[in-house]
Amino acid sequence: MRMTDLLYARAQMGLSLGFHIVFAAAGVALPVLMVLSDWKARRTGDADYVKLSQKLAKGTAILFAVGAVSGTMLSFELGLLWPEFMGRYGEVIGLPFSLEGVAFFTEAIFLGIYLYGRERVSPNLHLFSGVMVALSGAASAFFVTLVNVFMNDPSGFVATPEGPTNIQPLVAMFSPGWPYQTAHVLLSCYQASAFAMAGIHAFVLLRHPGAAFHRKALSVALPLACVTALLQPLVGDLSAKHVAKAQPVKLAAMEGHFETERGAPLRLGGVEVPKALSILAFGDPDAEVKGLNEFPRDTWPPVAKVHGAFQVMVGTGSLMALLALVTLVHRWRKKAWPSGPKMMRAWLVSGPLGLVALEAGWLVTEWGRQPWIVRGVMRTAEAVTPVPHLAAPFWTFTAVYLFLGAVVVSLLLSQVAGTLPGREAKHGEGGEAHVH
């Protein structure tokens, strides 16, 4: 298929968001893990938890810096690649963008205090600054997600050929479905990061079962990973029920459902579960579920892509929920977090699943909205820039992201390497950690 400028613009935006979302998610979640480690250090007096909070703070700083770069690039891309969208609807959704900027700068201020204020400010102020980093990161993700909610289910204005009128910024900011989508996104950030952290420390413990630092780090990551993995299916169910009512064509694409049916079955790998789709979508076994053939063909999203991404999201989410349940049962029965090789292998394998589910869920949201950039109001093709030759910026940005990704991986690996048995003493020379 020949790459048109529209496809290049979409590919560049997709690449940028796909890259940014990983570091943004970790930037939201790592401060929570950092604060939990700091709190444990103060409660137990254990220097390992101090060291862990320091490592997580450095990781947060790295990801914050890269996220700031990729986020700035995204803000330019919105205006340069999609000028019709920003020109027409910028005033409608400007409020959450502005509030996201406030949250970003708040996070930067308190991250500076946390990084450089250790043992220079009071212990309570230091811990408070960490809490504010966590809250500001969550607020930043919350406000950005509200923009996406608006694009999926626009409100707060009257559409006219000349543009939006009777604009109500607060109504637009809190478009229908905002509680479900924002909760779904925030949980996915915490879940993906906690699973990744658990996978890293499980890997080290498989090679060094006696590594006390990594066992304690795992005890910080596992509670967050397990709780979010079990909450996510519940929030996802609420989100899917809203999609069924507000965006039925997206639900039909997610499920690969073509014919309108009452008592619609759920099809899983060629197996039909009677009436299950009607129950999941509407809570009624005899509810009507609209099929794709109910809608004009030119309003269909790319069905195979949406359906495939949805299956990946649900499949990985189910595996993580199952592992979380098994882990919590072990914790309840043994009064300790699992440490045996079988469970460590399970957590190692599951480490990347949170990020896979995160990316797949984002693809479901974005592909499922097509062919619209603002659903039902403006098509993606209408919003793209008329400037030609978009292949050049696409490949340039690809090279930049590959470079940034390599730098981040190298920096994070060096942080982990400094905690491995045999290297701790070398990295710890020059002073011991002190507990507040």
Q: Do the beta carbons of residue 111 and residue 68 sit within 8 Å?
A: no
Structure confidence at residue 55 (pLDDT): 86
Distance CA 268, CA 291 (A): 17
CA atoms within 13 A on the CB side of 200: 20
Q: Do the beta carbons of residue 229 and residue 381 sit within 8 Å?
A: no
What confidence tier does 347 reach under pLDDT thresholds 50, 70, 90? Answer: very high
The DSSP code sequence of 40-66 is HHHHH--HHHHHHHHHHHHHHHHHHHH
Q: Model confidence over 143-201: pLDDT tens digits?
A: 999 999 999 999 989 988 888 889 999 999 999 889 999 999 999 999 999 999 999 99
Q: How far, rounded to the nearest angstrom, does the alpha carbon of residue 226 sit from its chain's CA centroid?
A: 16
| E strand intervals along 241-357 | 261-262, 266-268, 271-273, 288-289
Contacts of 196 (CB under 8 A, 6+ apart): 26, 351, 352, 354, 355
**pTM as predicted:** 0.88
Q: What percent of the chain has pLDDT over 70?
A: 94
What token pair was written down for 51? 């060291």
pLDDT (mean) for 360-383: 91
Question: Is 289 a residue whose pLDDT tops 80?
Answer: yes
Task: Give the containing element (helix H, strand E) for 379.
Answer: strand 378-379
Helix (H, G, I), strand (E, B) or coil at 300: coil
C-alpha triplet 157, 86, 295: angle, nearest 5°: 60
**Residues 353-379 as b or e (16 or more Cβ within 10 Å = b):** bbbbbbbbbbbbbbbbbbebbbbeebb
C-alpha distance from residue 78 to each of 71, 86, 97, 194, 343 (Å): 11, 7, 12, 30, 44
Structure confidence at residue 2 (pLDDT): 54
More confident residue, 64 or 372: 372
Structure confidence at residue 18 (pLDDT): 86
Structure confidence at residue 402 (pLDDT): 85
Closest CA to 365 of 151, 186, 157, 56: 151
Distance CA 284, CA 289 (A): 10
Structure confidence at residue 65 (pLDDT): 81
Distance CA 96, CA 285 (A): 39
What confidence tier does 3 reach under pLDDT thresholds 50, 70, 90? Answer: low
Backbone angles phi, psi at 261, to 5 degrees: -145, 150
Distance CA 267, CA 220 (A): 38
CA atoms within 13 A on the CB side of 427: 15
Residue with tokens 């793209």: 384
